[in-house]
Chain A
Amino acid sequence: MKQEIIIAGFGGQGVLSMGKILAYSGLSEDKEVTWFPSYGPEQRGGTANVTVILSDDKISSPILNAYDVAIILNQPSMDKFESKVKPGGILIFDGYGITKPPTRTDIRIFRIDAMNTASNEGNSKAFNMYVLGGLLKICPMVTLESVMQGLKKSLPERHHRLLPMNETAIKRGMELIEQL
């Protein structure tokens, strides 16, 4: 089993940390994992992306041509990565701020309105956890239990009181996601 995933959006949307939680989840299932971020000024509000690879075998390149799953959180990322989803692969996007929805017919496309919902539910800081929930619903590459372990590892201890809120967000995301 190998999952090659790109998560892309604006800096500050929790793109890198969502990738990190996914990576830690894979680790607690004894998978080989690489997490490779775009780095630099992107972290300060420009576009940011991270490539996460989960695999049963040793991973060669941390940089890829094409992805099994693309999680797209803004229009510039849609423009860049829609074409890079492998045929038969999965594209998940948040409708917020997407002016040109994806048009490919050889991939499975899902929409999750996480930004609006998180904001309406007063939980906008856990926005990325809604998205992660959506991903796990359609592509259960790791168990929810592993994700909670991953969260524990990637969150500093002083934030562990936020774990239940994150779990709620993940479960909510599972309900929100819909195939187009």
Chain B
Amino acid sequence: MEATIISPENLVYDKPRLMTDVPMHYCPGCSHGVIHKLIAEVIEEMGMEEKTIGVAPVGCAVFAYNYIDIDWQEAAHGRAPALATAIKRLNPDKMVFTYQGDGDLAAIGTAETIHACNRGENIVIVFVNNAIYGMTGGQMAPTTLIDMPTATCPQGRNVELNGYPLKISDLLAQLDGTCLVTRQSVHTAAAVRKAKRMLQKAFENSMARKGTSIVEFVSTCASGWKMTPDQSNKWMTENMFAKYPLGDLKNI
């Protein structure tokens, strides 16, 4: 059917085959959709769709399993790295990744994250950091910036009350079990292309049994931040990147 609308020689871009036709529940301007697409493309291009098992988090990406056409497990909040540990150890030939937000990975699941990385589990952790709890309505996250307002710190994050934004990837880069810790973004076409390369490297590391790879995506949450998508991108570049600078923290 597609061929009748656009002839193959004119086709310059296509939806990844592994993306389902289910309408996404993500808000306009949200980074999740693009990150999902990159994962689907990488799995497809690696020819690993029959061997990939994804672990979905609790958070906005809880329904990730609706959008990428592979086998999925839905984890309890924060426990995805524990599930992934067992999946990979029991099935060493499979490609296993978790998809987690900042609350899931860096608050309730900190222990599971650190210990999976410290054991050097041969898995990929996709970490979406938008500095807020999107799904539950915009509450403070461990990565919320100082003075940034959220539903549970309406006057802005106050260090005395709430402590500091947690740079969890910097912490994970210190662990001997990690082989790749990189911070990426998907706010421009160039950033998307770079992020995809790093994502592919991460998946390749996991199959080469090099240890744990973490790809952090510094992301926007237009709804939670109460901005337009365009304002969000601008705010992210000006504020988020200052605290969470893009680039490789570790790449061996």
The answer on direct contact between A and B (beta carbons under 8 Å) is: no
Point out residues on A near B: beta carbons under 8 Å.
none
